[in-house]
Amino acid sequence: MSTRPWFTVNGKAVVCVGDPVSCGSTIAAGDALVQIS
């Protein structure tokens, strides 16, 4: 589990670039993914 908080923009899950745990979890959940640097 990532220690970084998740938040949404326009209903899309947003995670930080370089956080493969959040990215994988978000993708696995089938949610739209937006990455921010």
Number of separate domains in the chain: 1
What was the pLDDT predicted at 1? 44
Contacts of residue 29, Cβ cutoff 8 Å, sequence gap at least 6: 13
Output the pTM of the full model. 0.23
Give a yes or no: residue 20 inside a domain: yes
What was the pLDDT predicted at 24? 52
Q: Which structural domain range is residue 31 located in?
A: 7-36
Name residue 3's amino acid: T
Whole-angstrom Cα distance, residue 36 to residue 13?
A: 11
User: Could you tell me if residue 12 is inside a domain?
Assistant: yes
In a domain, 27, yes or no: yes
Residue 2 in domain? no
Show pLDDT as tens, one digit a residue, over the chain (37 residues): 455 556 666 666 666 556 655 555 544 444 555 555 5
Q: Is position 15 within any domain?
A: yes
Alpha carbons 4 and 8: distance in angstroms, whole number: 13
